Structure 1
Amino acid sequence: SDNGLTFADAVATACETADIRIRLGSLEPEAMDLATLQRFSQYKNFCPQFHLALQSGCDATLRRMNRHYTTAEYAAIVKNIRDVFENPSLTTDVMVGFPGETEAEFHQSLSFVESIGFAKVHIFPYSRRPGTVADKAPDQLSPAVKKERAARMAQATHQSTEAFFRSQLGRTEPVLIETRSKDGYYEGYTMNYTPVHLPAAPEHINHILPVRLTALDPSGTFCLGTCVDAVKDS
């Protein structure tokens, strides 16, 4: 920026001055270089949940999208995150059905997404936007093809979400209780943004509880847990 400060400086300042959890939103992969990751890892209130925009796991599709990274570069960033942080989670966005995406290219994208092991993937089919380069591109895919590919991607990523949540079972994590859930339990999040439902009380909302993650809900969309200690103010 004009004053010489960087995105990493802003995050570091927030971590140093605010006695709350600091969690980042959607990120461009290139922003998470090794030095930045190592800097963030020094802060106990920095949440190790990284939403790194992917868009496609196929290099040819990424080039047509004018994305400025390759799948190899993306995978290297993911490796750095997992090397620097003890228990991070990775989430992303994936588009299917971009103009010109062949079945082989979709399969490459699907295989790459599976190889990363994301905790959660937001999947969306490409939709045309008048005036954009992609809207004028040849080889537009039919709605039926895009819907079918989105369903296949969703099936694969649901399995990776379940696998990630299962990897959290048995851990005792600080869970910030946020609200009462529809199932009668209370809902909160660990530092890596794993959703947890647990027995609690109204006075626990906006407090951090040490919670042992005990099981995966049958839906595969959140963990179940039990409080193991006294309430700690957030």
Structure 2
Amino acid sequence: MKIFYYTFGCKVNQYETENIRERFEQEGDTAAADIASADVCVINSCTVTEQADSKCMQMLRRIRKVSPRAVTVLAGCFPQAFSDKAEKLTECDIIVGTDDKGRIPEFTDRFMKTGERIISIRKHEKGEKFDTMTNKCSGEKTRSYIKIQDGCDCYCSYCIIPYARGHVRSKPMEDVVREASENIAAGHKELILTGINLCFYGRDLSERPTLTDVVEKVCSLDGEFRVRLGSIEPEMMLADDIKRLSVLDKLCPHFHLSLQSGCDSTLKNMNRRYDSSGYASLCATIRNYFPDCALTTDIMVGFPGEDEKAFEESLSFVEEIAFAEAHIFPYSRRAGTKADSFTDQVPQHIKHERAKRMAEVCAESKSGFLAGCVGKVFDVLFERETEADWHSGHAPNYVTVKVKRNSPSDSLRRQIRKVRIISSDKEVCYGEFV
């Protein structure tokens, strides 16, 4: 059979879709280039916002229109969080929550034999075990994701994810190390450790390992590779952890610290577990131990109750921190969350105006960060060639670096080369080989 895959949302979803693809391939199935040529269409959903749900619905309708005979599978966070809505979707033949994605090939085989619709959505429970899925990974890829953690127990007032992903659970360290070793053997040059709430890694395991422990273990493996961390919750990073991480040569000095707001009253209403002074102190500590690091973040504007004064506080704080890059988005109401019932919602036009202002500040700090890289030498991992002119890759701090190609056939893909940065613009740095 030919299988079409479409993934919405985060890096964890991308990892899980890759696992589904590998399981189909073990049965002799191959990937379809498009919907029209597919026998089966697998949609791995995201439900962070209602807009994410809408995009998923549009994709399901498109599949039914383009390939009405294809078996359609809806999986992931949307059916897990809103099972009643998902079960009413007539476009879906198989509906799977966040725990049974690995059984999709089995469910597909059963459906094709019986024609009976399959719904497998199990409610998350405290103490449930980590899904043991691993990825053997294509030897063609340069970077690979390793999912080491799932679930979240924070219950931020705007977030549906704890309901979609369940409680915190972690992949045993020996399984992480085994998967990392397989990725290195396959030729991957960068391993990205990812999870739903990465810093909670190990809290559910009997040995109580920490994220720092598992990073040290992976970095101790032999081979030419580097390790990058996914998004980190600020309150979970302690000074001792940062000190331990700073001596790991293979760890990329790139920290994505989710901020959401630089205003303390807004953070409190969000049910975030830190304040702006603690966040600023963390950034200073990281920069002290990792001088050339990049600090990136997520910033929400227009949260209920955010008046102009609160927004200005957040804007000033973001300007002070000077992030290397930021993902900025207006608050979106989400059914099933506490914030959805808050009465002081911010009008849509104000949210978009604030997002624009915040983006301008962040664009300036990004440009300044890139300019600060000029003259420095980085080990750049080259991933692809852009058009005929440039090799393109990433420095350890995740700055995109381009170097001129000698010829259109010249490729440095999956190679790590020393590059001196000679110039920059608003988006990338340009360099020359050392």
Fold agreement, TM-score > 0.5: yes
Q: Which residue of 2 aligns with 1:211?
A: 419
2:375 to 170, 187, 194: 170
Q: Deviation at 1:143? A: 1.1
Q: Deviation at 1:87? A: 1.0
In 2: Cα distance, 1:116 partner to 1:181 partner: 32
Q: Which residue of 1 aligns with 2:235?
A: 30
* Residues 1:222 and 2:414 aligned together: no
Q: Which residue of 2 aligns with 1:232?
A: none
Q: Which residue of 2 aligns with 1:160?
A: 365
Q: Greater CA deviation, 200-209 or 19-28?
A: 200-209
1:90-169 aligned at under 5 Å gives the runs 90-169=295-374
Q: Which residue of 1 aligns with 2:22?
A: none
Q: Which residue of 1 aligns with 2:398?
A: 193
Q: Which residue of 2 aligns with 1:4?
A: 208
**Larger RCO: Structure 1 or Structure 2 (Cα < 8 Å, ≥ 6 residues apart)?**
1
Q: Greater CA deviation, 178-187 or 190-199?
A: 178-187
In 2: Cα distance, 1:103 partner to 1:166 partner: 32
Alignment: residue pair count: 226
CA RMSD across the alignment: 1.2
In 2: Cα distance, 1:18 partner to 1:63 partner: 44
Q: State the Cα deviation string for residues 52-100 of structure 1 (Å, max 9, x = none).
A: 0000000000000000000000000001001111211100000000001
In 2: Cα distance, 1:186 partner to 1:75 partner: 36
* Residues 1:58 and 2:263 aligned together: yes
Q: Judge conservation of contact 2:389–2:405 (CA < 8 Å) in 1.
A: no
Q: Judge conservation of contact 2:229–2:254 (CA < 8 Å) in 1.
A: yes
Q: Deviation at 1:5? A: 1.2
In 2: Cα distance, 1:131 partner to 1:47 partner: 37
- Unpaired runs of at least 5, structure 1: 229-234
In 1: Cα distance, 2:388 partner to 2:242 partner: 37
Q: State the Cα deviation string for residues 121-172 of structure 1 (Å, max 9, x = none).
A: 1000000101211110011111101100000000110000000000000111
Q: Secondary structure at the match of 1:17?
A: coil
- Unpaired runs of at least 5, structure 2: 1-202
In 2: Cα distance, 1:196 partner to 1:165 partner: 10
In 2: Cα distance, 1:63 partner to 1:18 partner: 44
Q: Greater CA deviation, 26-35 or 199-208?
A: 199-208
In 2: Cα distance, 1:213 partner to 1:194 partner: 11
Q: Deviation at 1:182? A: 4.2
Q: Percent identity?
A: 43
Q: Which residue of 1 aligns with 2:386?
A: 181
In 2: Cα distance, 1:181 partner to 1:4 partner: 44
In 2: Cα distance, 1:183 partner to 1:137 partner: 53
Q: Deviation at 1:213? A: 0.5
Q: Greater CA deviation, 169-178 or 196-205?
A: 196-205
In 2: Cα distance, 1:46 partner to 1:143 partner: 41
Q: Which amino acid aligns with 2:217?
A: T
Larger Rg: 2
Q: Deviation at 1:18? A: 5.0
Q: Which residue of 1 aligns with 2:153?
A: none
Q: Which of structure 1's runs of 4+ aligned residues deviate more than 3 A?
A: 200-203
In 1: Cα distance, 2:368 partner to 2:344 partner: 36
